[in-house]
């Protein structure tokens, strides 16, 4: 793999993530594709933070097990990550931290420098250690200091002249120190490429939030929860500029009910949470289904049950989201595989919610929510707002739940002059409570018909990546896409079926592709193989080979390649 | 409009003598007087006997889940703050299942009227103790008598920031209608506790009990005095149940502090795709 990996680690609160993101942006501005991956504990200060950026000439959306360039700001980074260094790897470490290096991988180089001392003598503050380390790294990687200076300017200008100057001094001091002391170690991995196209360096939460705004979001009520909290933090400061409302509710029960209330008034409404918050939303989920109220719910998975591993990743909530709430109702569940898909599927989710008047879930995970990927600026020129059967006019003899072949009734909001009844009890076509057998049957069938209509009208075929003919077909969903696509580049005669629509489910296509496959490998980040079970349920096919992971860590291409080789 | 216009084809199914009949009458009387209709009004109900009201009033309604009418109303009001928004809720709905929403609604001070149908018992589930049931109350869930103290919604709402608190006995239809109008006119969260007998499951708080033990707050009562209001919320017992407006002060409503909806309601314009290119540039 022609991928270069840069990793910076240190105690939480020392600017590891901001330095990591700056590195990603420098690489992207220098013309490379990047993906960064962050590991951090569920505490604010003192824990171990580490961020890895993968840099490649080609599109990339995965972290790697190996590290080419490691910046260790503390002993723990050395202990945990020195073994990842490649045979040509370089480790930069802070000699002021009294770091002990027990072993180094053969061929790798350890370069010590007094980061604390450099920070104090050049800026008078140790807060800029991360910036000095970036300056040193840039020199060693043959990068352009100007990109770092630009980024510092963008980030710190608002914090005042002093802070900005401190950081600029730190960057130059680091760069110069490396020039004076490490010139023989320069490896040109960040040399500016001839062609540099504009690229966003953006994570899934940002993509979702911006997709929602572009799609005409009017109301969002979100209770904070890792890993989706940054969605609300992006929305909140933009609400006046774009004219929507973000509301922090007292809990997730309120979050979903507020969104439902706003939607009842005709607003495009959403909420976001993680599996634990969605537990509280489960009753509101079915309420939206029963009352046929459009809402978009973003669920960023993390390992459960209970509090689980709050800041790590997993795909353990698929079955939960598929089945949450009592009874049957139509729910749409979409699982983007990367940030670009997260952006477009979020935009589409608002149309689908309006069109089918039912809740639509965007099922992501920490891996997509918080890791940045460099992507072409989102092109949403073709997107059209589609509110489905919706009217604000007064209709004679209006019936909210009138029966129709496609299962969809004309929706009028509160305040439209129509007598609109949204009823959580089973109801007549007008919305009045009814326990009549014929009413129940007709309304149940009407609601469930919407799923069939959606399957026929809106569900695309899943994408099969790689060669049409293969000895092994990998099937997976969501964020595993990046690691699997990277693994595919190293293996011939392997293809990959990626599922983004999980309900309704593309049964016919999945059956066809998996029946034809010589061998199938199901890859999922959960204990029970939830997608595998779903595939069996829908297609009758039992998947023999499963690669399941539930340690909170994402899939690495290296381990997928090993698994592929075992099977071929 | 006439009062007949508020009727629906459905027959009321509350027990004969139920306090809900007069709450229904009071509300329709107020609606008729004020011209509440499907262009300017929306109701949100919870689950309990009170919630059946949605089937008997021809006004736009969302009947949600047990305990959750307040957050639905909250979202509805933010999205269209020109609507008169009424919450119909019961003592179990509002104070047990929905207690968290109730206290936060009080401090949020949205311009919503919360009507608590308080019968101090669970009626729809056929007779268990509610947060309003008196200590010692014998019911299917407390056969040896209720050990817990009852909760006083007006005291809670006052403590958590509500700006309009009223109490009325359901049998006084004129007074009830009048208070509902005042509650609706109040710019902020209004809580109206309607003392409503459950003739089937609560033999303690009967019509006679409320007729004999409620008293009207006098003209000399200062409803802007928070300490006085707090003292009034402490009163409960024989001849000791004050009714009327216990508290009313003017504080900015939640909606009045949202700049995005200063000029028009959130849903006033047709939704358009937004250009986010400017924001995307920040991610380059």
pLDDT single digits (tens) B74-96: 999 999 999 999 999 999 999 99
Counting one residue from A and one from B, how many pairs have CB atoms under 8 Å apart?
Answer: 205
What angle is formed at CA A206 by the lines to CA A200 and CA A212, rounded to 5 degrees? 115
Q: Residue A1 above 50 pLDDT?
A: no
Q: Considering only A41-55, A447-461, A504-518, which range has the smallest mean pLDDT?
A: A41-55
Phi, psi of A14 (to 5 degrees): -110, 20
For chain B, the domain total comes to 1
My answer on whether A362 and A400 are in the same domain is no
> Could you tell me if residue A382 is inside a domain?
no
A266/B80 Cβ within 8 A: yes
My answer on whether A470 and A352 are in the same domain is no
Interface test with chain A among B48, B64, B67, by most A beta carbons within 10 Å: B64
B54/A433 Cβ within 8 A: yes
Interface test with chain A among B76, B98, B257, by most A beta carbons within 10 Å: B76
Say which residues have a Cβ less than 8 Å from residue A210's Cβ, sequence separation at least 6.
Answer: A234, A343, A378, B276, B279, B280
A489 CB neighbour count, 10 Å cutoff: 15
My answer on whether A33 and A106 are in the same domain is yes
Average pLDDT over residues A89-109: 95
Give the pLDDT of residue A14. Answer: 87
Q: If you write DSSP's letter for every residue of A292-353 in order, what string do you get?
A: T--EEEEEEE-S-STT--TTS---TTHHHHHH-SSS----EEE--SSHHHHHHHHHHHHHHH
Q: How far apart are CA A538 and CA A506, in angstroms?
A: 9
Nearest-CA distance from B100 to chain A in Å?
8
> Could you tell me if residue A450 is inside a domain?
no
Where residue B31 sits, what CATH number does that domain have? 3.40.50.970
> Could you tell me if residue A456 is inside a domain?
no
My answer on whether A473 and A554 are in the same domain is yes
A257/B104 Cβ within 8 A: no
> Could you tell me if residue A453 is inside a domain?
no
> Could you tell me if residue A106 is inside a domain?
yes
My answer on whether A26 and A144 are in the same domain is yes
> Could you tell me if residue A17 is inside a domain?
yes
Mean pLDDT for chain B? Answer: 96
Give the pLDDT confidence of B178-218 residue by residue, as tens digits.
999 999 999 999 999 999 999 999 999 999 999 999 999 99
Option in B72, B75, B101 nearest A219 (CB): B75
Where residue A26 sits, what CATH number does that domain have? 3.40.920.10
Percent of chain B with pLDDT over 90: 98
Which residues span the domain enclosing A396? 389-445
For chain A, the domain total comes to 4
My answer on whether A205 and A193 are in the same domain is no
My answer on whether A176 and A250 are in the same domain is no
Which CA distances in Å does A110 have to A87, A93, A116, A292, B283? 12, 7, 18, 62, 34
My answer on whether A481 and A537 are in the same domain is yes
Percent of chain B with pLDDT over 70: 100
My answer on whether A344 and A397 are in the same domain is no
Residues in chain B: 284
| CA B183 to chain CA mean position, Å | 10
Give the pLDDT of residue A195. Answer: 87
My answer on whether A150 and A68 are in the same domain is yes
> Could you tell me if residue A481 is inside a domain?
yes
Phi, psi of A121 (to 5 degrees): -70, -30
Helix (H, G, I), strand (E, B) or coil at B11: coil
Helix then strand then coil, in percent of chain B rounded to 5, is 35, 15, 50
Which residues span the domain enclosing B29? 3-281
B274/A265 Cβ within 8 A: no
> Could you tell me if residue A336 is inside a domain?
yes
Where residue A523 sits, what CATH number does that domain have? 3.40.50.920
Nearest-CA distance from B37 to chain A in Å?
7
Give the pLDDT of residue B3. Answer: 87
How many helices (H) and strands (E) are present in chain B, helices listed first?
9, 8
My answer on whether A126 and A188 are in the same domain is yes
Q: How far apart are CA A521 and CA A516, in angstroms?
A: 13
Nearest-CA distance from B68 to chain A in Å?
7
- In this prediction the ipTM stands at 0.98
pTM for the predicted model, two decimal places: 0.97
My answer on whether A193 and A208 are in the same domain is no
């Amino acid at each position: 793999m022609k991928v270069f990996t840069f990793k910076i680690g240190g105690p939480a609160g020392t600017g590891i993530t901001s330095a990591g993101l700056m590195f990603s942006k420098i690489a992207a501005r220098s013309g490379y594709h990047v993906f960064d991956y962050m590991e951090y504990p569920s505490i604010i200060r003192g824990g171990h933070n580490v961020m890895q950026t993968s840099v490649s000439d080609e599109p990339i959306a995965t972290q790697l097990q190996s590290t080419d360039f490691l910046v260790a700001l503390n002993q723990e980074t050395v202990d945990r990550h020195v073994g990842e260094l490649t045979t040509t790897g370089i480790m930069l470490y802070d000699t002021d931290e009294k770091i002990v290096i027990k072993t180094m991988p053969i061929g790798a180089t350890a370069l010590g420098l007094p980061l604390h001392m450099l920070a104090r003598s050049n800026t008078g503050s140790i807060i800029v250690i991360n910036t000095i380390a970036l300056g040193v790294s840039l020199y060693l990687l043959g990068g352009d200091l100007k990109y770092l200076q630009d980024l510092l300017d963008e980030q710190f200008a608002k914090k005042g002249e002093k802070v900005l100057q401190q950081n600029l001094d730190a960057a130059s001091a680091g760069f110069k120190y490396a020039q004076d002391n490490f010139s023989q170690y320069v490896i040109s991995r960040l040399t500016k490429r001839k062609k540099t196209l504009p690229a966003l360096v953006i994570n899934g939460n940002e993509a979702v939030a911006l997709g929602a705004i572009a799609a005409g979001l009017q109301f969002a009520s979100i209770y904070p929860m890792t890993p989706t909290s940054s969605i609300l933090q992006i929305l909140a400061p933009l609400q006046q500029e774009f004219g929507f409302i973000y509301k922090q509710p007292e809990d997730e029960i309120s979050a979903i009910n507020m969104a439902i209330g706003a939607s009842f008034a005709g607003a495009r409404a959403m909420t976001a949470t993680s599996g634990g918050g969605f537990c509280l939303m489960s009753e509101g989920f079915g309420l939206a289904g029963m009352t046929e109220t459009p809402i978009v719910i973003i669920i960023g998975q993390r390992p459960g049950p209970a509090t689980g591993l709050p800041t790590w990743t997993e795909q353990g909530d698929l079955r939960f989201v598929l089945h949450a709430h009592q009874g049957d109702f139509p729910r749409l569940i979409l699982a983007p595989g990367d940030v670009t898909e997260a952006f477009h599927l979020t935009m589409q989710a608002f149309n689908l919610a309006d069109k089918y008047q039912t809740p639509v879930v965007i099922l992501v995970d920490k891996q997509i929510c918080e890791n940045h990927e460099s992507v072409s600026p989102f092109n949403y020129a073709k997107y059209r707002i589609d509110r489905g059967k919706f009217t604000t006019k007064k209709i004679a003899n209006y019936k909210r739940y009138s029966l129709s072949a496609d299962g969809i009734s004309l929706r009028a909001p509160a305040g439209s002059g129509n007598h609109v009844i949204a009823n959580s009890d089973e109801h007549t076509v007008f919305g009045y409570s009814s326990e009549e057998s014929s009413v129940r049957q007709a309304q149940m069938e009407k609601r469930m018909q919407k799923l069939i209509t959606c399957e026929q009208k809106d569900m695309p075929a899943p994408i099969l990546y790689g060669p049409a003919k293969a000895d092994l077909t990998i099937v997976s969903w969501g964020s595993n896409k990046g690691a699997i696509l990277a693994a595919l580049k190293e293996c011939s005669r392997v293809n990959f079926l990626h599922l983004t629509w999980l309900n309704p489910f593309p049964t016919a296509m999945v059956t066809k592709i998996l029946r034809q496959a010589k061998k199938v490998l199901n890859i999922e980040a959960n204990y029970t193989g939830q997608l595998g079970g779903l595939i069996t349920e829908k297609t009758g096919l039992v998947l023999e080979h499963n690669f399941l992971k539930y340690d909170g860590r994402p899939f690495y291409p290296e381990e997928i390649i090993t698994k592929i080789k075992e099977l071929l | 409009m006439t009062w007949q216009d508020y009727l629906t084809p459905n027959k009321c199914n509350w027990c004969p003598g139920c306090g809900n009949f007069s709450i229904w009458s009071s509300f329709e009387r107020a609606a008729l007087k004020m011209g509440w209709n499907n262009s300017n009004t929306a109701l949100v109900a919870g689950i309990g006997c009170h919630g059946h009201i949605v089937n008997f009033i021809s006004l736009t309604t969302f009947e949600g889940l047990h305990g959750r009418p307040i957050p639905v109303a909250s979202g509805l009001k933010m999205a269209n703050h020109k609507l008169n928004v009424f919450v119909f809720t019961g003592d179990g709905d509002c104070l047990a299942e929905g207690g968290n929403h109730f206290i936060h609604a009080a401090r949020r001070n949205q311009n919503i009227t919360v009507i608590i149908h308080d019968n101090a018992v669970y009626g729809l589930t056929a007779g268990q103790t509610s947060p309003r049931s008196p200590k010692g109350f014998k019911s299917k869930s407390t056969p040896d008598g209720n050990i817990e103290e009852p909760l006083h919604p007006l005291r809670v709402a006052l403590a958590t920031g509500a700006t309009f608190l009223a109490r009325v006995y359901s049998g006084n239809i004129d007074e009830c209608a009048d208070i509902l109008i005042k509650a609706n006119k109040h710019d902020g969260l209004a809580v109206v506790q309607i003392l409503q007998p459950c003739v089937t499951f609560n033999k303690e708080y009967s019509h006679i009990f409320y007729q004999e033990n409620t008293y009207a707050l006098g003209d000399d009562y200062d409803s802007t005095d928070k300490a006085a209001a707090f003292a009034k919320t402490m009163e409960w017992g024989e001849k000791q149940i004050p009714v009327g407006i216990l508290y009313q002060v003017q504080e900015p409503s939640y909606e009045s502090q949202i700049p995005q909806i200063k000029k028009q309601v959130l849903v006033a314009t047709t939704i358009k795709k937004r250009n986010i290119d400017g924001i995307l540039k920040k991610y380059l």
